[in-house]
Amino acid sequence: MEDALIVHRLHFAFTITYHYLFPQLTMGLAPLIVILKTLAIWKKDERYNRAARFWMKVFGVNFLFGVITGIPMEFQFGTNWAKFSQYAGGVIATTLAMEGVFAFFLESAFLGLFLYGEKRLGQKWHWFAAFMVFVGSWLSAYFIIVTDAWMQHPVGYTIAADGTAHLTSFWALLFNPWVGWQYLHNMGGAVITGAFVMAAVGAFYVLSGRQVEFGRMFLKLGVTTAVIASLFQVFPSGDGQGKMVALHQPVTLAAMEGLFKTEEGAPIAIVGQPNVAERKLDNPILIPRMLSFLTYNRWKAEVRGLDAWPEDQWPDNIPLLYFSYHIMVGLGTIFIAIAVVAAFLLWLGRLYGARWMLWILMLSFPFPYIANTAGWMTAELGRQPWLVYGLMRTSEGFSPLVSAGNGWFTLLGFMGMYAVLSILFLFLIWREIGHGPKFLEGEA
């Protein structure tokens, strides 16, 4: 049984990590496309119009692959996590259904109108189609995060006589206090991905001497957005989400920070390696009292360490949780540094000629994907050993009749299929980038 549980967890971790590579870019690009379309109408400049259509084509490819890789996860609730579905289906089915019926169809319908209906719609209605794609993608994310937030901090439910959870307050579910900061932090991460990808494509065009006017346009919008989103990700969204974890999951905070002992004036670890066996951080570099201040706004505040809870309530994999969190924070700091320097050069009018900075921007685009993945790993590893925090343990939620062998067979099958999908995706995206916005000059 233990082997089967591990395989089911690996299976879902693989499929959801791969899937999220696609929607984080669509959610990040959606507001940028609206900005480009707005500039096209405001400035009456067809270049912005072509730029918006170019990025909507990139959006469309990502949207398609997001759908292809997202549908299997819905089935995994029944095939791999049947006990969890039976227990929590009366609550989470509501938001999952709303995500599909309202948000997904809204996004897909207006995506089609934007890509193929500009002549008939006219510029203002074409802008409205872009705006509704943005609304649909961000609304879809909201319903998914509401679902996850209930697993992190269950509210608005009752336990029925058969032991399953049932929804008692739709509004409590929809406006769970956990949702606000988690949603803002997630969307900030998506915008960082969209901004760095746009800046990277712009840098590629400028460095290669191809479609330079569009390259400069993408650099200007991408870098400006990256500065705002990167700073927002630290404060207020990151700070707010951290305080939410401290309030509702303090044992998670202790594990994230590698704090094994309760301390007044607790330090924050910049680097270090958790040594769970000896209950300490090896080779730490610490900033004294900073964790107390960031968590409770008091330098001498007491922060509970892992010693305040029995070990069966500790997160299952403290080293992985610790490193995931620190990778996310470390990359977030690097994003701020890159974006601020690039924005300063842009303000001075030197960015387009600073080839060293253009190379940094072009090569930086994979790192927001890594940071977002590490962020979600932090959230989900931190919830362990609970599937629904405080109510249902992960070991109680998997499908007991699905063996480890069956799990391995389907996991390897998914890996093979997704390897093929990856090749196809890279080919389609490279073709769109190779064509560029100028390829759309003949379109209207």
What is the rounded CA–CA span in Å between residue 187 and residue 240?
14
Residue 187 makes CB contacts below 8 A (sequence gap 6+) with 27, 138, 141
Q: Is residue 260 a contact partner of residue 273, using CB atoms and an 8 Å limit? A: no
Strand partners of residue 167: 157
What is the rounded CA–CA span in Å between residue 386 and residue 161?
22
What is the rounded CA–CA span in Å between residue 83 and residue 61?
35
What is the rounded CA–CA span in Å between residue 231 and residue 339?
9
DSSP annotation of 160 reads -
Residue 436: phi and psi, rounded to 5, are 70, 175
**Residue 322 maps to a domain:** yes
Question: 22 by DSSP, 3-state: which?
Answer: coil
Q: Which of these, 295, 227, 215, lies nearest to 256 by C-alpha position?
A: 295
Domain residue limits at 6: 2-262+304-440
Contacts 24+ apart (CB under 8 A), 173-179: 173/91, 173/94, 173/95, 173/146, 174/95, 174/146, 176/146, 176/149, 176/150, 177/153, 177/244, 178/149, 178/152, 178/153, 178/244, 178/248, 179/142, 179/145, 179/146, 179/149
Residue 121 corresponds to which amino acid? Answer: L
Q: What is the pLDDT of residues 1-26, one digit of tens each?
A: 568 999 999 999 999 999 999 999 99
Strand partners of residue 159: 165
What pLDDT does 103 receive? 75
**Residue 292 maps to a domain:** no
What is the rounded CA–CA span in Å between residue 419 and residue 412?
11
**Residue 273 maps to a domain:** no
What pLDDT does 104 receive? 75
What pLDDT does 444 receive? 42
Q: Is residue 54 a contact partner of residue 37, using CB atoms and an 8 Å limit? A: no
What is the rounded CA–CA span in Å between residue 186 and residue 182?
6
b vs e for 362-371, b when ≥16 Cβ sit within 10 Å of the residue's Cβ? bebbebbbeb
What pLDDT does 75 receive? 86
**Residue 100 maps to a domain:** yes
What pLDDT does 440 receive? 62
**Residue 205 maps to a domain:** yes
**Residue 377 maps to a domain:** yes
Strand partners of residue 275: 280
DSSP annotation of 21 reads T
pLDDT one digit per residue (tens) for the chain, 444 residues:
568 999 999 999 999 999 999 999 999 999 999 999 999 999 988 999 999 999 999 999 999 999 999 988 888 888 899 999 999 999 999 999 888 877 778 888 999 899 888 788 888 999 999 999 999 999 999 999 999 999 999 999 999 999 999 999 999 999 999 999 999 999 999 999 999 999 999 999 999 999 999 999 999 999 999 999 999 999 999 999 999 999 999 999 999 999 999 999 999 999 999 999 999 999 999 999 999 999 999 999 999 999 999 999 999 999 999 999 999 999 999 999 999 999 999 999 999 999 999 999 999 999 999 999 999 999 999 999 999 999 999 999 999 889 899 999 999 999 999 999 999 999 999 999 999 897 765 454
Question: 385 by DSSP, 3-state: which?
Answer: coil
Structural domains in the chain (count): 1
Q: Is residue 222 a contact partner of residue 196, using CB atoms and an 8 Å limit? A: yes
**Residue 281 maps to a domain:** no
**Residue 383 maps to a domain:** yes
